[in-house]
Chain A
Amino acid sequence: MLGIVRRKVCAKGLPVTVPGETLRFFRPVVHALRNYSSAAKELTVREALNSALDEEMSADPKVFLMGEEVGEYQGAYKISKGLLDKYGPDRVLDTPITEAGFTGIGVGAAYYGLKPVVEFMTFNFSMQAIDHIINSAAKSNYMSAGQINVPIVFRGPNGAAAGVGAQHSQCYAAWYASCPGLKVLSPYSSEDARGLLKAAIRDPDPVVFLENELLYGESFPVSAEALDSSFCLPIGKAKIEREGKDVTITAFSKMVGHALKAADILAKDGISAEVINLRSIRPLDRATINASVRKTNRLVTVEEGFPQHGVGAEICTSVVEESFGYLDAPVERIAGADVPMPYAANLERMAVPQVEDIVRAAKRACYRSVPLAAAA
């Protein structure tokens, strides 16, 4: 019942993360409650993605979905549930196991003018197709001088899940975002998922769309505007999830939830944190980030991926280049541990940023004394 209470209290629209299991169990009760509250409708990220795909496929016959298990199995994570029945096997293709093959085919179809949505079961497997993503999709418009554009979307879960080990847990945001010609998006909430996926499908350039497996089951309130089929979020604009004045915390995907929890904890200690949900890794919304840092004078970047050459490193450089004079403290960077992801639950917990890590970093940035991190 606690989940429902929390939701009512936060009806003014702050996104609230509710454990997926709890929500599923309580959903029927929530429906009943919803009739009485003025809060917006709730949608899981999974439903948001499914509805976005459905609407875009309905609106444009050139859009089609391709990937392993997307059809008969309804999607490895059930994101494409119901689409095969609705649109048929011509537009929802179950592919043989060859990422290089179906990515190449998707790019070829995009060259010709169709709008493929290529699903990777996880982005770890996209490495088997990375030549097609970079050398065929990202660079073609430039190399052909505008004669071949590639309106393709590569989507799938990215980053750590739970207990899946090194080859299933890497975050690819930094890799793809370093490549000109690609656009890289990473949604957090259901509204993000809907708006950004629609924008990605409509965009004439290749877009890498990084989802998160653990967020699929999480539920968020969505406004009526977001439920409209023409809803679209701009690519390249970050969202200020929570305003603050003492320290800026940037994050994307699952880490936004952690950052918001950290902000709650910091608020109790009198530190008002501004949480920025990047939404778009490339192009990075440097304007919003810098404006925020100029206001708060302190920055903590949070990401799940490996630290070296990561997203946080780029944000730090951007702030140093444009807003150095405004910084009152060194930039703090929170990232995943610099090791392949271990499997054992206790080790995995230590390899991925936790809320406490963000809280400590923010306090360091605010020159508060911080107790040493607890041993494992």
Chain B
Amino acid sequence: MAMAALLRRQPFWKPAVRLLSEKTVKAPGFGLLAPCFREHAMGRRPSPAFLWPRRFESTVSQEHLQFPDDDDNHRDLDFPGGKVAFTDKLSFLSGSAEARIPCYRVLDDSGHPLDHSGFSLQVKEELAVKIYERMVTLQMMDVIFYEAQRQGRLSFYLTTMGEEAINIASAAALKDEDVVLPQYREPGILLWRGFTLQEFANQLFGNEADYGKGRQMPIHYGSNKHNYFTVSSPIATQLPQAVGVAYALKMEKKDACAVTYMGDGGTSEGDFHASLNFAAVTESPVIFICRNNGWAISTHINEQFRSDGVAVKGRAYGIRSIRVDGNDALAVYDAVHHAREISVKEQVPILIEALTYRIGHHSTSDDSTKYRPVDEINYWKNSRNPVSRLRRWVERNGWWCNEAETRLRTNIRKQLLEVIGEAEKLKKPPMAELFADVYDTPSSNLVEQQRQLAETVRIHSGCYPPDVPV
């Protein structure tokens, strides 16, 4: 019937928003309202149908009268990207969840295992002591090398103080064939994998034994044989590169993953977002470990982002994430261990946010007391220190004692002073190294320039430093 057709047609003035919920329709008494008034009750202008004599309403089902604009009765909408349930409520998702993402920890601040811990891995004495010893070594390395810079023997240094647990425990949970792309505050990974104190010192002094041939600033370590890619200064560039490495590992079906580190500041870079997105889309086995230490030089995380830290961002890209207490070595070990398993087995990326605190200054070029209270720094150094926390646990298990501590620290200190002395004595790389490695084989202009330089130095040898070989 023409009238039925008219009634079923979508009224063009249909409001875009239903002002009342469906509950109103079902409210007691609603059904008693004459149909011409129900529309008003639902906050809508009555359709022309209701202006017609009521005798026509009986030929049309009630559903059509109450929901004249409901053309399809499907509950889901079909768009590119998949099915999505529709809602008739206009509401904006809050910018943050009710509660912050909880932080996984195994030990409490005094090194006691938590009562209902989900920690299931066996960390026996040998491994526990090794982890602890390396954390102490890293801590002492930082103190001594920092002092050397202050004395003018090094041009620059950057400490990892406060983040020893993240460094060592994450490295302990990985395998040697996992490829590591660091930011710059992760020398502990190299330390764990066997880089010696002498090798560290050689890079710092840029001498002829430096694997980097004196090409880079201090702390820009790199070692092929330890699967640790050379540190690069620009922030977060290592993140998409790690996805590239992971993609390559996936293509070659290797039983390994890529692991990359960044700070809280690094998550603001475009590269962070591109790499998480890409890792998810390409389903590559890469673990993103964010050291959220509260500070990006002088920028506090309050000024860095407004999200619930970094862990929440993983979900935005479709990536499984976890927040972990970065000062709890066992928690970090556990999280990284499981992340690696998932990543390699399922060939997916994982995001780990390790909460911690940067006890040291950003670097030797920074004095953080200028922008944060000394009390705050001391609090984290003394009461929340990851090294002391693990020490208490190891001691409580009977695997460590004061004598062992003294022995270790004396030994490490002695070694460090020795390696510094050695590194200082070694010659700098020869001038020929200035021209090597620009390309795989030097171009003709570089060969020519090298020849000219050698000739000039030979003729005017008095004008060139004697300890730099040609």
Chain A contact residues, CB within 8 Å of chain B: 64, 90, 93, 95-96, 98, 100-114, 116, 131-132, 135-136, 140-149, 180-181, 183, 203-205, 236, 283, 286
Contact = CB atoms under 8 A, between A and B. Distances in A.
| B179, B240, B270, B275 — most chain A CB neighbours (10 Å) | B240
B347 to A, nearest CB: 12
B438 A108 contact: no
A183 B442 CA distance: 12
B237 A135 contact: yes
B232 A95 contact: no
Contacts of B246: 108
A148 B440 contact: no
A143 B443 contact: no
B169 interface: no
A205 to B, nearest CB: 5
A112 B247 CA distance: 10
Contact of A105 (B229, B232, B240): B240
A161 B232 CA distance: 36
A236 B243 contact: no
B234 interface: yes
Nearest to B443: A283
Given A105-B241, A107-B244, A144-B222, A183 B230 contact: no
B444 A101 contact: no
Interface string B216-229: 10001011100001
Interface of B: 179, 181, 210-213, 215-216, 220, 222-224, 229-230, 232, 234, 237-249, 251, 258, 270-271, 274-275, 277-278, 281-282, 433, 436-440, 443-445
A98 B465 CA distance: 48
Given A105-B240, A108-B242, A144-B222, 16 more contacts: A95-B278, A98-B270, A101-B277, A105-B278, A108-B248, A112-B244, A114-B247, A135-B237, A136-B237, A141-B437, A143-B215, A143-B232, A144-B437, A147-B222, A147-B223, A203-B440
B245 A109 contact: yes
A236 B443 contact: yes
Contact of B439 (A90, A100, A205): A205
Contacts of A105: 240-241, 243-244, 247, 275, 278
22 contacts: A98-B270, A100-B240, A101-B277, A103-B240, A104-B241, A105-B244, A105-B247, A105-B275, A108-B244, A112-B244, A114-B244, A114-B248, A131-B237, A132-B240, A136-B237, A141-B439, A143-B216, A144-B230, A147-B211, A147-B223, A148-B229, A283-B444
**Which of A93, A103, A104, A111 gathers most chain B CB within 10 Å?**
A104
Contacts of B229: 111, 144, 148
Question: Which residue, of B224, B239, B440, has the highest number of chain A Cβ atoms within 10 A?
Answer: B440
A132 B443 CA distance: 23
Contacts of A283: 443-445
Contacts of A98: 270, 274, 277-278
B207 to A, nearest CB: 13
B244 A104 contact: yes
A317 to B, nearest CB: 13
A100 B222 contact: no
A135 B234 contact: yes
Contacts of B248: 108-109, 112-114
A109 B232 CA distance: 16
Contact of A106 (B222, B244, B437): B244
A339 B184 CA distance: 42
Given A114-B251, A136-B232, A143 B220 contact: yes
Nearest to A286: B445
B224 A147 contact: yes
